[in-house]
Amino acid sequence: MSLWERSRNVAVIGAAVLVGTGLAVPAQAAEVEQVVNGGFADGTAPFWANGGMTLALDDGRGCVDVPGGTANKWDAILGQNDIDLVAGENYRFAFDASGSAAKSVRAVVGLAVDPYDTYFEQSPVLGETQHYEWTFTAAASTAQGQVAFQLGGSPDPWRFCVDNVSLVGGVPPEVYEPDTGPRVRVNQVAYLPSGPKVATLVTGKTTPVAWRLADKSGRTRAEGQSKPRGVDVSSGENVHTIDFSAVKAKGTGFTLTADGETSRPFDITADAYAKLRTDALKFYYTQRSGIAIDEALRPGYGRPAGHVDVAPNQGDGNVPCQAGVCDYNLDVRGGWYDAGDHGKYVVNGGISVWELLNAYERTPGLRKVGLNIPESGNGTPDLLNEVRWELDFLLKMQVPAGKPYAGMAHHKIHDQNWTGLPLLPHLDPQPRELHPVSTAATLNLAATAAQAARIYSKYDRAFAQKALTAARTAYAAAKANPALLAPESDGVGGGAYNDAKVSDDFYWAAAELFLTTGEKQYSADVLASPEHTADVFGAGAFDWGNTAAAGRLDLALVPNRLPGLAKVKASVVAGADKYLAIQKQHPYGVPYAPANNSWDWGSNSIILNNMVVIAAAHELTGRDRYRDGVLTGLDYIFGRNALNISYVTGYGEVSSHNQHSRWYAKQLDPALPNPPVGTLAGGANSSIQDPYAQSKLTGCVGQFCYIDDIQSWSTNELTINWNAPLAWIAAYVAAL
């Protein structure tokens, strides 16, 4: 019996005795080892290996030869079962490991039996033998726990060795301290020379402090006193604001000093946002499914086509429905992958298409922006070329004539089961399935196809006509099936995108059909919709699940003859005024104040979408305060925030670059790239649904609920619907 085994048994007996005598057991008694024979002193048992691997001793360590050619991390595991875990107890998980190649091991503490919950995971990239150690809090109690080293997913074979595997319970909790850098927080990219320039200082002081703006050469360009703002609800920290809007100088490498701290450097220039406009839009090409990504067009990002029926892909060329859902197969190749997963979802594709086409319609400058994509130079603006890739896919998701629910759209198509990371699209081995049709997806198709019909008609009449026909058919089908709701339970192998409320989608689709056709049947539905007179500008203006504001914005801004148009326009301005009022109160200048300071999943996109409403009010009124509101909101995204981070890859001194993705997975496999420059991270999410965020951020306040780690899918994913408002706002600012 090893020392660890003995201490484990002693502890169990000790606890029993204490309970028997009625004495209180201290919450964190002795530290107790849970792993048996973790040092491999007594051979390899009770460790086991699967996936055709033989676990054997090598120089006192446990080693396996990992086969190549498996798809998932869990296709090859070295593990130990019967681990006791107690909910709420803190554990230190440690081991020494090496890899013959720079491969990542997914080290997991979880449930050994179905549903194989993960309580903690880390995926370090291996090399020479190294010690790894973390602490976490167990989320559940079980006697069927497991410590597992998941080793699969590599195309080529390699060798893994591990030693001193340890899981000690009863340790003090680890306190995660994010590195937030200097306490003076600025837009690390650029303030506009003519725009507002405000920074936030984190300090314990409650009276004004002196600040100084220096240029690149260190020369003082402005000085003043900060304004104490008290404790900021969104971060829980005491803050001041520093307003240097009076400075109109242009240049690079400015810094702001206050309270003994100097900010990260920033520019004052009007130039930065044209590049962002292009980068944020170039994001979409490398999200494409069904086409090889050309290395010449995107150096470092070339890859084979995903899901085109080439093994190990099962392909999207002839996809059946889930069992019992339909009796036909559809060719649904193409489109964009939704996010870091390989799913394609009509409701999220819909809002993304709408917002990109809306940007095109609102900012004429976009017409000339080249995106370096295969279609570039074909005479059609590149933004329309790129969005067409998704539109063609959305049209393929419509049920063909003659089939049950003809004209409706399938809610989504994705893998039968979740896959692990990393996994390039063309290597995904999972069967693909169409999920049931839904009213929401059908109305997304109706809205975006109608919008496309008016925007593409100048470049491709046949396509515009086809899109309009599909939109009309979809709208009629949705009216005939008004309550086919995508359920929350349908979330295996892909996101649920459940949507229980569709009155907003009806309103939006009717609005787009009316704007494109001018027909009374659609304006009648717009006017009769309860959404038409409702205040649709809530904490967040719109997202994939709340689309009424999309309809309202277009009714207000696309020329039309709807009765009562003045009221429609006034409602948009009133919505923008609400966001400006929130922003004014906010010491970080954020036009977003969710109820109970509970930040939503993808909060960065919500903030940007609220800014789209503010920008619409700028177009409607021409008043500077709306333009200034958009510019100030942008500062938060680029580093004027509690974490001092720019949420856009490659922009600012310190930026998010480990977003959750199966193919931009450099953090797990050094041979893969980070997300492309111009990729927005989801951002602070108070609900921290993923185990990694939970292990670091439990108890976090608002803005602090974010971590730039590939495992944090609930705070740090990238998505097609989040880059859309980034592109929209960048295009707006670039055109100012």
Which chain residues interact with ligand 9MR by CB under 6 A? Answer: 338-339, 341, 343, 495-497, 601-602, 713, 717, 719
Tell me whether residue 70 or residue 658 sits nearer to ligand 9MR (CB atom).
658
Whether the upstream peptide bond of residue 196 has omega within 30° of 0, thus cis, is no
- Is 90 strand, coil or helix? strand
Q: Which of 680, 710, 735 is nearest to 352 (CA)?
A: 680
Amino acid at 682: G
What's phi and psi for 349, nearest 5 deg?
-60, -40
Tell me whether residue 232 or residue 341 sits nearer to ligand 9MR (CB atom).
341
Residue 318: DSSP 8-state? S
Q: Is the CB of residue 309 less than 8 Å from the CB of residue 317?
A: yes
Tokens 């198709």 locate to 445
Query: What tokens appear for 446 in the block?
Result: 């109706």
Tokens 């069967």 locate to 431
CB of 679 to ligand 9MR, least distance (A): 13
CB of 348 to ligand 9MR, least distance (A): 7
Burial 384-398 (b: 16+ CB within 10 A, else e): bbbbbbbbbbbbbbb
Helices (DSSP H) in 254-408: which residue ranges? 272-282, 346-362, 382-396
CB of 341 to ligand 9MR, least distance (A): 5
Q: Which long-range contacts (CB under 8 A, 24 or more apart) does 319-325 make?
A: 319/413, 319/432, 319/433, 319/434, 320/433, 320/434, 321/410, 321/433, 321/434, 321/435, 321/436, 322/433, 322/434, 322/435, 322/436, 325/434, 325/435, 325/436
C-alpha 417/C-alpha 690 separation (Å) is 18
C-alpha 629/C-alpha 577 separation (Å) is 10
Residue 400: DSSP 8-state? P
Tell me whether residue 145 or residue 422 sits nearer to ligand 9MR (CB atom).
422
Does the active-site annotation cover 586? no
Tell me whether residue 463 or residue 713 sits nearer to ligand 9MR (CB atom).
713
Q: Is the CB of residue 210 less than 8 Å from the CB of residue 258?
A: yes
CB of 176 to ligand 9MR, least distance (A): 22
Tell me whether residue 495 or residue 683 sits nearer to ligand 9MR (CB atom).
495
Tell me whether residue 282 or residue 412 sits nearer to ligand 9MR (CB atom).
412
Tell me whether residue 545 or residue 587 sits nearer to ligand 9MR (CB atom).
545
CB of 496 to ligand 9MR, least distance (A): 5
Q: Out of 382, 525, 709, 717, which one is annotated catalytic?
A: 717
Does the active-site annotation cover 717? yes
CB of 726 to ligand 9MR, least distance (A): 15
**Quick count: other Cβ atoms within 10 Å of Cβ 114?**
6
Residue 468: DSSP 8-state? H
Q: Out of 338, 669, 708, 709, which one is annotated catalytic?
A: 708
Tokens 């690079």 locate to 252
Does the active-site annotation cover 660? yes
Whether the upstream peptide bond of residue 594 has omega within 30° of 0, thus cis, is no
Q: Which of 331, 336, 361, 357 is nearest to 346 (CA)?
A: 336
CB of 576 to ligand 9MR, least distance (A): 23
- What is the β-pairing status of strands 266-268 and 190-191? parallel
Classify burial at 274, counting beta carbons within 10 Å of its beta carbon; exposed 0-12, middle 13-18, buried 19 or more: middle
CB of 404 to ligand 9MR, least distance (A): 27
Q: Is the CB of residue 713 less than 8 Å from the CB of residue 690?
A: yes
C-alpha 505/C-alpha 503 separation (Å) is 5
Tell me whether residue 405 or residue 544 sits nearer to ligand 9MR (CB atom).
544
Tell me whether residue 453 or residue 724 sits nearer to ligand 9MR (CB atom).
724
CB of 137 to ligand 9MR, least distance (A): 23
Tell me whether residue 456 or residue 601 sits nearer to ligand 9MR (CB atom).
601
Tokens 């201490």 locate to 7
C-alpha 191/C-alpha 176 separation (Å) is 32
CB of 687 to ligand 9MR, least distance (A): 8
- Reduced to 3 DSSP states, what percent helix, strand and coil does the chain have, rounded to the nearest 5? 30, 20, 50
Cβ-Cβ contacts under 8 Å for 375 (sequence gap 6 or more):
382, 385, 386, 388
CB of 67 to ligand 9MR, least distance (A): 30
Query: What tokens appear for 66 in the block?
Result: 């990992």
Closest residue to ligand 9MR, based on beta-carbon distance: 495
Tell me whether residue 336 or residue 638 sits nearer to ligand 9MR (CB atom).
336
C-alpha 592/C-alpha 539 separation (Å) is 6
C-alpha 296/C-alpha 299 separation (Å) is 6
CB of 656 to ligand 9MR, least distance (A): 14
Residue 427: DSSP 8-state? G
Residue 414: DSSP 8-state? E
Tell me whether residue 334 or residue 495 sits nearer to ligand 9MR (CB atom).
495
Q: Is the CB of residue 387 less than 8 Å from the CB of residue 369?
A: no
Beta-carbon-side half-sphere exposure of residue 24 (alpha carbons within 13 Å): 3
Q: Out of 316, 660, 690, 709, which one is annotated catalytic?
A: 660
CB of 686 to ligand 9MR, least distance (A): 12
Tell me whether residue 89 or residue 490 sits nearer to ligand 9MR (CB atom).
490
Q: Which of 352, 194, 319, 324 is nearest to 268 (CA)?
A: 194
- Give the active site residues: 660, 708, 717
